[in-house]
Amino acid sequence: MSSAYRILLVEDSETQVLRLQYLFSLEEWDTERASTGEEALEKLNQVVPDLIILDQYLPGMKGTELCRQIRRQASAWNPPILMFTSEDAAGLRKDSLDSGVDEYLSKSVESHVLVERVRALLEKPKADTAKQEDRAPRQARLLAVDDSPSYLEYLTYELSSDGHAVEAAGNGPEALERIKARGYDCILLDLVMPGMNGIEVCHAISRMRDDLPTHPLVLMLTAHENAGEVARGLESGADDFVGKSSDVTILKSRVRALLRRRVYQDALKDKEIEVLRLHAAREAAELKAALLSTITEKNLDLEETNRKLKETQMHLVHSANMASLGQLVAGIAHEINNPISFVDNNCFLIKEKLEDLGNQCEEVLSAPQKKLIKSGTERLSEARMGLVRVKELVNKLRTFSRLDEGEFKNINVHESIDSVLLLLRHRNPRIEVDRQFSGASMLNCAPGQLNQVLMNILANAMDAIGEQAGKIIIRTEVRDKWYCISVRDSGPGIPLAIQSRLFQPFFTTKPVGAGTGLGLAISHSIIQAHKGQIEVISPEGGGAEFRVRIPTDLSEPI
C-alpha cells in the first residue's frame, strides 16, 4: 500500500534518521534519505517530495545554503521545508527563515509535537494539485541553427546527452518558421550562414517577441571570434556569445547558465508581480473604502475616484515591468563583463610576449618574420580597442539597470541619456541623435524614475519619426537654478487640439494595442513629485519638443 505523502530527510546522523523513519512509518508516510546537500539536489532532480526535513550542519553544504538553492529553483521545486537541528539559537532561527524555511524545530522537541508540526506542513494547501511525478522539472527545449550538417549533428548529439530536447534547423528561414510554430527555451544560432546570417535571424526573433508565448534566449556561435562580431551579436539581441572552437563543456555550461538564469528571473518576476498585485489590491480596497466614506459624508464625484483607482493600478503594473527590465539588464551586463575582462587580459599578455619575442630575436629574424610579429601585435591592439567598446556598452547597461531605485542620489544625467538611447537603438538605426550637452552633468534625483521619464519621451520621439530617417536633438543645461532637459524630434508634430490632453491618463494617439496612454501621464506625475515642470511645444511646421525642468537644489525624498 502506497502512502499519501513522501518526505525527504537530509540528515547525516544515522540515529536521527532511524528515529524519524520510525515515527513517520507509524503515520504511513514514505521517507527517503540524503546524507549531504549535493545528494539532496540530485534526488530533487528526479522526484519532488511533499516535504523536506533538513539539518543545518551537513557535510559540505549547510542547510540554509541548500534551502536557498531550492528556493532559487522555485518554478520547479517548491515543497515546504522544515529545519530540524540541534541548535536552537535566535540567530540561526532568523537565518533559516530568511533562507526560505517554512518551519524551525529543535531536535529536543517531543515526538508527538514533531509529528503534528510535520502533519500541518504536509496538509498545507497547495496551489498545484497535480501528481508528484508531474511536478518534476520540465526538460529544456533547444533549437540548434547551423548550415553545416556535420556540426549540426555533433551539436544536437552533445546537447541531447546533457538532458535537453534538441531540434535542428539548417538555415535562418527554417529556424524562424520553427520558432513561430513551437516554443523554445534557447536558440543556438550560427553567426555566419548563407542567405540569412545570425544577426538578421536575431533581429527577426526580436520583432516576433509579441507573438511568442515566451521570448527564447539566444546563444550566438561563430568560428572566428573577434570583438566586432561580439559587439554586433550582442547589439542584435543575443544573450551570450561562444566560439565554435571552444571546448564543448564550455558550450554546455553556457547553455545551462542561460537556462538557470531564465528560471531564476521568471521565478523572481512572478514573486514581484504577486507582491505588486497584493499592494494594488490593498490600495484598491483602501480607495474603495475611502470612496464609500466620501460619498456618505461629502458626496464626491464617483467617476473621478474610479479613474484615480485605475490610474494607480496601471501605474503599479508599469512600475513592475520597468523593475523587471532593470533586473534583466543588470544580469546581462554582469554575465558579459567577466568574459570581456578575461579576453582583454589575455590580449594584453599575448601582445607583450610577442613584443618581447621580437626584441629578443631581432638579430636572427628575417624581415618577413619581423613584419608578421608586428602585424600580430597591431591586430591585438585593434582587438583590445573593440573590447573597450564592449566595456562601454556594459557600463551603459549597468547605468540603466538602476530602474528600480527610488531613493534620491546624485547621478550623471548624460550617462542616463546614453543608457536609454542604447536600449532604444534597435527601433530605428537611421535616426540621427544630436547630443548638445552643456553645463553640469550631475543632478540629485530618483535615478530609476528619471530613466523612466527619459525612456517614455525618447520612445515617443522615435515612434513619431517612424521607420523613415529622422533626427532627434537632446539638449541639457542649467539655467536659474533649474536643470533643463529638452528632446526635439523631426516627426510630423502634435496637433494643437490634442496638446492639452497629452498628459492625461489613458489618452493615446497610437492604434489599439500599441500603447496604454500612461507613459506621459506617469512622466508628468514623476516630474511633479520632483517639484519640476514638463511641457510640450509643437510648431505648425512639424516636429515636437518636450522640455523638462527639475530644481537643482532638490534633496528631500519624494
Number of other CB atoms surrounding residue 165 within 10 Å: 14
- For 401-446, where are the alpha helices, taking DSSP H only? 413-424
This prediction has a pTM of 0.35
How far apart are alpha carbons 505 and 522 in whole angstroms? 8
What's the confidence (pLDDT) of residue 484?
A: 95
Number of other CB atoms surrounding residue 485 within 10 Å: 24
Q: Is 324 left (phi over 0), alpha (psi -120 to 50) or beta?
A: alpha
Given a contact cutoff of 8 angstroms between Cβ atoms, the answer to whether 14 and 38 are in contact is no
Q: Across the 558 residues of the chain, what is the mean pLDDT of every consecutive 10-residue run?
A: 76 90 91 91 86 90 87 68 80 77 84 86 58 51 92 90 89 90 87 89 85 81 73 78 78 79 62 64 72 64 67 59 58 70 79 83 84 84 75 60 62 89 81 91 86 88 88 93 94 85 74 60 83 90 91 67
Q: If residue 88 lies in a helix (H) or strand (E), which one and from where to where?
A: none
All residues at 6 or more sequence positions from 393 whose CB lies less than 8 Å from its CB, including other chains: 231, 234, 235, 422
What's the confidence (pLDDT) of residue 458?
A: 92
Cα torsion 85, 86, 91, 93 to 10°: value is: 40
Amino acid at 255: V
How far apart are alpha carbons 102 and 81 in whole angstroms? 5
CA 554 to mean position of chain CA atoms: 31
What are the cell numbers at 232?
A: 554586433
What's the confidence (pLDDT) of residue 467?
A: 84
The DSSP bridge partners found for residue 442 are: 412
Max CA separation in the chain (angstroms): 100
What's the confidence (pLDDT) of residue 404?
A: 45
If DSSP codes are grouped into helix, strand and coil, which group holds residue 406?
coil
pLDDT 10s digits, 219-258: 888 877 666 777 777 778 888 878 887 678 878 877 887 7
DSSP3 helix / strand / coil % (the chain, rounded to 5): 55, 15, 30
Q: Provide φ and ψ at 148, rounded to 5°.
A: -95, 110
If DSSP codes are grouped into helix, strand and coil, which group holds residue 543?
coil
DSSP 471: E
What strands, in cross-sheet order, belong to the sheet with 30-34? 30-34, 6-10, 51-54, 81-85, 103-106
Q: Got the DSSP string for 32-61?
A: EEESSHHHHHHHHTT---SEEEE-SS-SSS
Number of other CB atoms surrounding residue 313 within 10 Å: 18
Amino acid at 102: D
Count of CA atoms in the C-beta half-sphere (13 A) of 484: 15
